[in-house]
């Protein structure tokens, strides 16, 4: 029962990713030891600060029980009294069981939240008039700050969107859901992607806490192959030309949502829409448009090397004749092999759109 489901990768993750995550969490709440120059005293101070940070995260009642159990253990150890040591063990196990129960309850709640997020992702069977489509959404934690959407418009065009809220966890996920819901509402009456991004910025600017922002990559795709792109601080869309077998980046200016005003500026300053730029291209049959979040390119292996744009481009060029689903699956396989078992550190989101050849 103790080791029945234990695997080597699970044990390695405990000693690396989970231990590092725990250390970084408590370190954020510990005092600095930079002023201490003597190495031994620096490590002793750091250990003390980390222990105090750990205690501060327990409730007062649990802190009391934990301190009492430590005292009982020390007294029992000094007096060779196994009864007191056993009571201390039971008390610590009781506290551990309570922490595990709370963690599992939180995990169940996060699973519900993840289900809500997944419900907002368009189905793989979604129809984009004149295009093949495939998507990828993979979160680094239980819930993520990335989102994607394909919003159908009355004129049979589609607004393809990939968004990325800064940070990770539940706060970023809540902002992502809020942004996606607002975007779906504004998209049907917006004039173009820049106008849509401007409305979204105006809606979210006063609501997002300082320190948070949202990057968005957007493409308004028309059945005749005309594509209008705009971005708000997001990685540029990628266009693969099938005839020339070449890839180009659709570079354009644009500041992240939540960073500046929605109007044309105040007191002569540049506003959000002043800083946004539109790029328009014409897709020929077989041409592919790629929208993605930075988590895709910044996927790291165990040595800290990033997956990068060159690997993504190589996969698109090598397998362009295959179905988009197959291209996506090959990309996922390549990223998984590249990570070599290391934990995904950032959400990974992707939309592939290819103009139909028929």
Tens digits of residue pLDDT in 297-316? 988 888 889 999 999 999 98
Question: Are 138 and 286 part of one and the same domain?
Answer: yes
Q: What token pair was written down for 355?
A: 């103009």
pLDDT level of residue 13 (50, 70, 90 thresholds): low
Question: Are 81 and 168 part of one and the same domain?
Answer: no
Mean pLDDT of the chain: 84
Whose CA is closest to 215, among 249, 250, 259? 259
Question: Are 324 and 248 part of one and the same domain?
Answer: yes
Question: Are 135 and 108 part of one and the same domain?
Answer: no
What φ, ψ does residue 283 adopt, rounded to 5°? -90, 135
As a whole number of angstroms, the distance between CA 122 and CA 52 comes to: 47
What is the pLDDT, as a whole number, of residue 103?
Answer: 77
Domain annotation covers residue 211:
yes
- Mark 7-23 as b/e (b = at least 16 C-beta within 10 Å): eeeeeebeeeeeeeeee
Question: Are 148 and 21 part of one and the same domain?
Answer: no
Question: Are 98 and 168 part of one and the same domain?
Answer: no
Question: Are 133 and 191 part of one and the same domain?
Answer: yes
Question: Are 190 and 302 part of one and the same domain?
Answer: yes
Question: Are 110 and 157 part of one and the same domain?
Answer: no
The domain boundary residue, chosen from 65, 82, 115 = 115
As a whole number of angstroms, the distance between CA 329 and CA 136 comes to: 9
Domain annotation covers residue 108:
yes
Each residue's pLDDT tens digit, 138-188: 887 767 788 999 999 988 999 999 999 987 778 888 888 889 999 999 998
Domain region containing 299: 126-355
Domain annotation covers residue 84:
yes
Is pLDDT at 1 greater than 60 in this prediction? no
Total number of domains constituting the chain: 2
Domain annotation covers residue 323:
yes
CB atoms within 10 A of CB 193: 27
Question: Are 103 and 131 part of one and the same domain?
Answer: no
Question: How wide is the angle at C-alpha 32 spanned by C-alphas 30 and 35, nearest 5°?
Answer: 160
Residue 308: exposed, middle, or buried by beta-carbon count in 10 A (0-12, 13-18, 19+)? Answer: middle
pTM: 0.74
The domain boundary residue, chosen from 85, 115, 145 = 115
As a whole number of angstroms, the distance between CA 161 and CA 3 comes to: 45
The domain boundary residue, chosen from 52, 84, 115 = 115
Domain annotation covers residue 1:
no
Domain annotation covers residue 340:
yes
Mean pLDDT of the region 78-106: 85
Whose CA is closest to 147, among 112, 177, 126, 114? 177
Domain annotation covers residue 121:
no
Each residue's pLDDT tens digit, 50-74: 888 888 888 888 888 888 898 888 8
Q: What is the CATH number of the domain that holds 161?
A: 3.60.40.10
Computed from CA positions of residues 245, 252, 279, 295, in that sequence, does the dihedral angle turn out positive or negative?
Answer: positive
As a whole number of angstroms, the distance between CA 295 and CA 179 comes to: 19
Question: Are 35 and 153 part of one and the same domain?
Answer: no
Question: Are 111 and 131 part of one and the same domain?
Answer: no
Domain annotation covers residue 2:
no
């Amino acid at each position: 029962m103790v080791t029945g489901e234990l695997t080597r990768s699970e044990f390695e993750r405990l000693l690396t990713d989970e231990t590092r995550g725990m250390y970084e969490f408590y370190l954020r709440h510990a005092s600095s030891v930079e002023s201490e120059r003597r190495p031994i005293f620096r490590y002793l101070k750091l250990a003390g600060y980390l222990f105090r940070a750990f205690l501060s995260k327990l409730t007062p009642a649990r802190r009391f029980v934990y301190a009492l159990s430590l005292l009982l253990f020390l007294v029992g150890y000094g007096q060779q009294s196994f009864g007191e040591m056993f009571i201390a063990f039971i008390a610590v196990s009781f506290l551990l069981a309570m922490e595990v129960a709370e963690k599992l309850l939180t995990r169940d709640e996060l699973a519900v939240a993840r289900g809500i997020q997944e419900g907002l992702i368009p189905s793989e069977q979604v129809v984009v008039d004149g295009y093949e489509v495939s998507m990828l959404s993979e979160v680094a934690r239980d819930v993520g700050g990335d989102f994607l959407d394909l919003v159908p418009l009355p004129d049979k065009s589609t607004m393809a969107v990939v968004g990325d809220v800064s940070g990770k966890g539940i706060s970023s996920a809540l902002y992502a859901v809020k942004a996606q819901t607002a975007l779906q509402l504004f998209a049907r009456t917006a004039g173009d992607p820049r106008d849509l991004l401007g409305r979204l910025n105006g809606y979210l600017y006063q609501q997002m806490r300082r320190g948070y922002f949202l990057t968005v990559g957007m493409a308004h795709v028309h059945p005749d192959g005309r594509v209008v792109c705009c971005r708000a601080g997001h990685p540029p869309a990628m266009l693969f030309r099938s005839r020339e077998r070449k890839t180009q980046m659709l570079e354009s200016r644009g500041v992240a949502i939540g960073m500046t005003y929605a109007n044309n500026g105040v007191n002569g300053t540049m506003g959000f829409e002043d800083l946004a730029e539109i790029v328009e291209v014409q897709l020929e049959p077989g041409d592919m448009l790629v929208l993605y979040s930075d988590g895709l390119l910044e996927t790291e292996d165990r040595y800290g090397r990033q997956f990068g744009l060159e690997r993504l481009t190589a996969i698109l060029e090598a397998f362009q004749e295959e179905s988009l689903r197959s291209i996506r699956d090959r990309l996922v396989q390549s990223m998984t092999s590249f990570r070599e078992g290391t934990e995904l550190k950032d959400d990974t989101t992707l939309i592939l759109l290819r103009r139909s050849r028929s």
